[in-house]
Amino acid sequence: MTDRHEQHRLAVIGGGVMGTNIAALALGHGVDVTLVDVDEPTLATARTAIRRKLKHAQLLEALPAGRAHGTLATTTAPADIADATAVVEAVVEVAEVKREVLTEVSGLVAPGTLLISNTSCIPIDEMAGWVARGDELVGVHFMNPAYLITMVEVIRGRATGDATMTAVTSLLTALGRTALVVNDAPGFVVNRLLHPLINRAAMLVQEGVASAETVDGLLEGCLGHTTGPLRTADLIGIDNLVDSLRVLHERTGDPECDPCELMLRKVRDGHHGRKSGRGFYTYG
Ligand code: NAI
């Protein structure tokens, strides 16, 4: 695997919250991006979201000044990513879906192509068995919004090779990100801590102990959290959180990770957070 970040052509699979975040980050750093999703309407929404995110990032001076943006291609045909030098998988947090996507992608790209999963919780070691070359797979947990938060959590699986670690470091440097590397485990570090906290915060609302505003207000005001757990839940997407909590619960047995009834009800009612206009809060 060579250090080719200057000419990286990034393929991003999944045009939802994180796929559009990661695409905007790469485009803003001059990297060409091919974004793949299963349906065209999602891609149309994604193109608008990416333009908005690029403007937002520019406004906040979060992108390198004076650098020409990369070009964006969108497609529903995974075969269009065959010439990618790096692939970021950002589809839903459901192991069966990720397995299908990663198996297909790893059969399409050339050996030496960096394979990145942006999974929240699924162990990289589990995914390594789904791809043709497990040593080329690494976890990169981009935060949301990826174009504003410069720190990322990199997950090195047991099979992840040294060349892959070098290549991912070089790509992340080209994207202006700083990485902290952790070993593999369900939820890694950030979500093993964050997801049970959000679940417990939702449980307090469910039990009538306090409103969402009060729970968030206390953690923000007393503990210095920049964003309270339920505002964070709305940003992440409550549907994604429930999927992630299930992954954690199945793999750790930790009862704190069993998604609470209030979150399950919000998903059933379509109240997924910011992306649907309503979650713990309502958005205009
Ligand atoms: P999302 O639900 O917003 O987007 C997922 C996208 O994947 C959808 O557009 C869907 O159409 C697409 N998709 C589903 N199956 C597909 C397939 N076979 N091929 C191509 N596209 C397919 O989900 P979100 O929030 O963007 O999450 C994506 C991944 O990133 C998940 O693994 C999640 O756990 C992780 N993540 C999410 C964060 C967040 O704040 N939402 C933060 C960090 C990681």
Q: Tens digit of pLDDT for each residue in 77-114?
A: 999 999 999 999 999 999 999 999 999 999 999 999 99
* Mean pLDDT, all residues of the chain: 96
Mean pLDDT over 61-70 rounds to 93
Write the single-letter amino acid at 269: D
Convert the pLDDT of each residue in 152-162 to its tens digit: 999 999 999 99
Q: For residues 113 and 98, give the distance between their C-alpha atoms in angstroms, rounded to a whole number.
A: 18
Q: Answer yes or no: is the C-beta of 237 below 6 A from any ligand 1 atom.
A: yes
> 23: Cβ below 6 Å to ligand 1?
no
The alpha carbon of 85 and the centre of ligand 1 are apart by a number of angstroms equal to 21
Share of the chain above pLDDT 90, in %: 96
> pTM score, two decimals?
0.96
**pLDDT class for 5, splitting at 50, 70, 90?**
very low
Query: Using a 6 Å cutoff on CB, does residue 190 contact ligand 1?
Result: no
| Parallel, antiparallel or unpaired: strands 86-89 and 32-36 | unpaired
- Taking residues 19-41, report their average pLDDT: 97
Which atom of ligand 1 is least distant from the CA of 275?
A: 3
**Mean pLDDT computed over 165-182:** 97
Give the residue carrying structure tokens 């990289």: 124
The residues near 267 (Cβ < 8 Å, ≥ 6 apart) are 238, 239, 242
**Looking at residues 179-201, what average pLDDT do you find?**
98
**Residue with token string 């998604």:** 259
Q: Which domains does the chain have, with CATH numbers?
A: 5-183 (3.40.50.720), 190-275 (1.10.1040.10)
* Ligand 1 centroid to residue 90 C-alpha, Å: 5
Structure tokens at 144: 């949301």
pLDDT, position 7: 80
pLDDT at residue 4, as a whole number: 38
pLDDT computed for residue 6 by the predictor: 54
Q: 19 in ligand 1 pocket by Cβ < 6 Å?
A: yes
Highest mean pLDDT among 5-14, 63-72, 259-268: 259-268
Contacting residues for 162 by C-beta, under 8 A, at least 6 apart: none
Q: Which pLDDT value is given to residue 280? A: 98
- For the stretch 234-281, pLDDT in tens is 999 999 999 999 999 999 999 999 999 999 999 999 999 999 999 999
- Distance between Cα 260 and ligand 1 center (Å): 22
Ligand 1 centroid to Cα of residue 101, in Å, is: 12
Residue 199's closest CA among 270, 248, 268, 251?
248
Q: List the residue whose alpha carbon is closest to atom 34 of ligand 1.
A: 120
Residue 185 above 80 pLDDT? yes
What integer pLDDT is reported at residue 3 of this predicted model?
41
Atom of ligand 1 nearest to the CA of 101: 18
Amino acid identity, residue 183? Answer: N
Which atom of ligand 1 is nearest to 122's Cα? 32
How much is the average pLDDT of 16-31? 97
Positions marked catalytic: 141
